[in-house]
Amino acid sequence: MRRLSKLLIASAWLAATSAGVAAGQTLPHMIDIDWSLAPNLPQGFQDSDGGIIDNTLITSGGFAAGETIPGKVYPRGFVHETWGLDLSNPGTGWQSLPDFPGSNNPANVDGAGRQELASVVVNNEIYAWGGFNYTAPFAYADGYRLSHDGGVWAWDALPSLPNAVSSPGVTAVGDFIYSVGGADYDSTAFYTETDRNGTTPGPGAKFHRLDTTNLQAGWTALPDLPGTERWVHASATVGDQLYVFGGATGGPPYRSVVDNWRYDTTTDTWHQLADLPVSSGNFSNGQVVLDDRYILLIGGFQYEEVHNLDGTIGPKYGTATKTIPGNVYFSDVWVYDTQTDQFGTATQLPNNNNLPMAVADGSKLYLLGGETGGFTFDGELFGHHPESVFVGDMTVAFDPSINLFVNQSTGAVSMRNVSSEAVSIDGYEIASQLGSLDPSDGVWQSLADSGLHPGWQEIGAPTSSLLAELNANGQTMLAPGGILTLGTPYTLQPTEFGQPPPPGDLTFGFSTDGGEVLAGSVVYDSAPNTLILYVDPATGQTLLTNPSPLSATIDGYEIRSADGSLQPSGWDSLATNPALSGWEEIGSPTDALLAELNASGETELANGESLLLGALFQIGAAEDLQLEFSLTSGSVIQGVVEYVTLNADFDADGDVDGGDFLTWQRGIGTLTGALQSAGDANGDGAVNQIDRLIWETQFGQVTSGVEATATVPEPASMLLVIAVCCSLATKTRSSLSCSNPRCIKSY
C-alpha cells in the first residue's frame, strides 16, 4: 500500500502543469460553517451592502430583476431603501430605516437607488460610497454615513471618492478608511483599466485613504495597487495589514483576476501574495474575518478566462463547486490564513450565490440576498434575487501545515511548518510554469544532497520546471516552526530598480507519512526593490539603505513630513559627508522638508549599502515621513519608510561593544528568521552589513539601566575590534566601499 501511494504521488506531481492546486492535491479545510435561516428580508435583491452598528444588522441598496414565483412577487428596480434587523431580538423582523440618500429617483424604477455600493463600519457608524444604476451618470462617487444617536437613525454626506466606481474594496484600519479598485460604468459595460472615456487610467487599481477624524481633508491618494485592475473583489484588514483578493477585470469579455496583495499600512508598501488556488472571483466586499486571522472569500463566479498579472490571457483553472448542479453560479467559500499565508476552504454555501452581502460578527456570518438562479432551503422556495438571510456559525477546523517560503531578492527557498503540531513529510515538489528554477548542484540544495536526512532521493532529473524529492523508506519530521532549507534555486528576481519583482509562478505540494498529498502555499518574502529609510523613533536616528539585489545610482532625494516631524539640527546631510562629493542641500532645511541634489555627480548604493543621515526625526513626533529619490536615469521613485528599533546590543549586556561584533560575525549570512540575539540590529530577519553599520554607529553606547546615550569611542578602541577605514574614489562617480562610519558596502 505504501509503495502504491508513493507511485500515485509521483505520478500526480509530474502531471501537474497548470496554476493553482496541482493534480492529486487538496486544499486544507480550515473552517466549518453550520448554516441556518434568519428572518427574511422585506424583498429580494443582490449587491447591497451595510454592516452592524448598535447590534443592528443594516443593509442598503441593491437590485432586483423582478420575477414571480408561486406565492411570492419580486419587484424590479434598484433599491434605495435601508433596513435593519435587531440581532438581540431578531423575531421582531426587519425595520425600515432612512433611505440611502444617493441617486434617489423614484420616477424611474431603474434609476431609484443603486447596487454595488461598498461600505465599512468605523466607530459604530456605517460609511458607504459608489455603486451604479441604469440612468446617468450611471456610476457614482458620492458617499454617506449612517449613524444612530439618541435612538435616531440618520444619513449625512461624506467627501466623494476621487472617481466614480462601482464595487470598490472598502475597509478600515482604526480611524482610516481605505478604498481600492472598482469599475466605471456607462450603462453598457464596466471599465477597470481606464474610465468609460478611455482617458483616465486604472480606476481598478486606484487606492485612497480617508481620515474619519478629519473628513474635511478628503481622500488622500496612495500608491496604486500593483496588480491587475479589478472590481467585485474581496478586501479586508487584519491588524494593520490590508488584503485584496481576486475579482474581475472590466470588459467585455470579463475575466477572473487571480493575483492577490497585502498592503502594509505602517510602511505604505504593497506585497504580492500567492495566486488564488482556483480561478473563481466576484467575491463579496466586507470585513469577513474570523478570529482576526482567517479571511473568507464568499461565493462568486468562474469566468472562462483569466487575466494574468503580466497582461496575458489564460484559461480558467481549478474546480469551483456548486451546491446546486447545473446552476451557472458557484458556492465555494475560500479561506486565507493571514498567519501562515495559506489558502484553504470552508463549508460551502447553502446555495449557489454571486455577490451576496456578507458580514462577519465574531463567529457569526450573515449572508443577505445575492444572485442565485433560484433555490429551495428547508422547504422554502426562493427567487433569483432572494430575500433570504443565512446565518453561519463558524468554527476553526484545521491548523495548516507546510508552506514554501521564497525570497525574491536572494532566490532562497525553504519549507516551513506553520502549524501548531509536528508534521512528518515524505515527499515534496516545486513546479514552475516559466522555468524559473535553477537545478544546478549547490544552487538547489536537495535533502538528498545535504546528507542530513536519510532516505531522500531526487525524482528524475531536476529541471528548471520541476524539483522533486521522495523518501520511499522513511520521513522527516518538522517541529512547529521547523525549517528545511533548499538553497537558492529561484531565479525570478527584479530586473529594474524601483519596479516590483516579476510575479511568482511556483506551485508547491507535499505528502505526509499517511499518504495524504496536500497543496502548500508559496509565500514570496522579498526585500522592497527600492530604498528604505529606517527610522528609530526612540532616538531619531536614521539609516538609508538599499535592500534590493539591484544597484541604485541616485543624484537627489527629499524627506517630507506633513506634521513637521523632521529635526534639521540632527540631519547629517550627504553634503557634510567628506567621503562623498557633489552633494548640496536644497534651500533651508525645515521640519517639513529635507532635500539634497547632486548636480555634478552621483552616488551608487549597491545591495546592502547604506548611508547614515543622522537623528533627523523628532522623538515623539508623528510617524509620517515620506521618502522620494531620483536616479541618474531620470526616474523619480517612492522609497519606503520603516520605523524600527535600531539596537546592536546583540548579547543584551547593556552596552554595544566587541562582544556584539563577535555575535554579528557568527550570524552573518543568515537570510531569514534571524533574531536580534543572532546579530539582526534592524529587525528585518537577516544578518548582513546593514547590521554591522548599526553596530559601528552605536559602538560605545549604553543600552540598558539608563537612557541610551551616544559616546564617541576612541579611534584606537574601535580599531582593536575592527579595522575601520574608507578608500572612496575621488572621481565624480562616488561608490561606497569599506566601512566609513557614514557608509558601508556589503561584501
pLDDT value at residue 635:
92
Q: How do residues 201-231 score in pLDDT, each as one tens digit?
A: 889 999 999 999 999 999 999 999 999 999 9
Q: How do residues 57-73 score in pLDDT, each as one tens digit?
A: 999 999 998 888 888 87
pLDDT value at residue 735:
37
Q: Grid coordinates in use for 32?
A: 466549518
pLDDT value at residue 672:
66
Task: Tally the residues of the chain.
Answer: 747
Q: Is the pLDDT of residue 98 over 70?
A: yes
The H or E element spanning position 610 is: strand 610-614
Q: Grid coordinates in use for 141?
A: 462617487
Rounded to an integer, the average pLDDT of 525-554 is 88
Name the pLDDT band for 52 (thresholds 50, 70, 90).
very high
Q: How far apart are CA 710 and CA 703, in angstroms?
A: 10
pLDDT value at residue 608:
78
More confident site: 106 or 176: 176
Of the listed ranges 120-134, 292-306, 387-401, the least confidently predicted one is: 387-401
Rounded to an integer, the average pLDDT of 653-661 is 89
pLDDT value at residue 376:
93
Rounded to an integer, the average pLDDT of 425-454 is 93
Q: Is the pLDDT of residue 349 over 60?
A: yes
Q: Is the pLDDT of residue 731 over 50?
A: no
Q: How far apart are CA 507 and CA 698, in angstroms?
A: 43
Answer yes or no: pTM beyond 0.85: no
Please state the three-class secondary structure of 339-379 as a single string.
CCCEEEEECCCCCCCECCEEEEECCEEEEECCECCCEEECC
Of the listed ranges 121-130, 278-287, 371-380, 731-740, the least confidently predicted one is: 731-740
pLDDT value at residue 718:
32
Beta bridge partners of 585: 596
Q: How far apart are CA 582 and CA 601, in angstroms?
A: 6
Check residue 166 and report its DSSP letter.
B
Q: How do residues 467-495 score in pLDDT, each as one tens digit?
A: 999 998 899 999 988 999 999 999 987 78
- Tally of CB atoms within 10 A around 230: 32
The H or E element spanning position 700 is: none
Please state the three-class secondary structure of 15-28 as a single string.
HCCCCCCCCCCECC
Give the domains, in start order, of the chain with CATH numbers.
Answer: 2-25+411-495+505-519 (2.60.40), 29-396 (2.120.10.80), 532-744 (no CATH)
Beta carbons of 663 and 679 less than 8 angstroms apart? yes
**Extended beta strands in 230-301, E state:** 234-238, 241-245, 256-257, 261-264, 269-272, 289-290, 294-298
SS3 692: helix
Q: What is the percent of the chain where pLDDT is above 90?
A: 61
Q: Give CA torsion, residues 450, 451, 453, 459, to 10 deg.
A: 70
Name the pLDDT band for 626 (thresholds 50, 70, 90).
very high
pLDDT value at residue 717:
35
Name the pLDDT band for 740 (thresholds 50, 70, 90).
very low
Q: How do residues 525-537 score in pLDDT, each as one tens digit?
A: 777 789 999 999 9
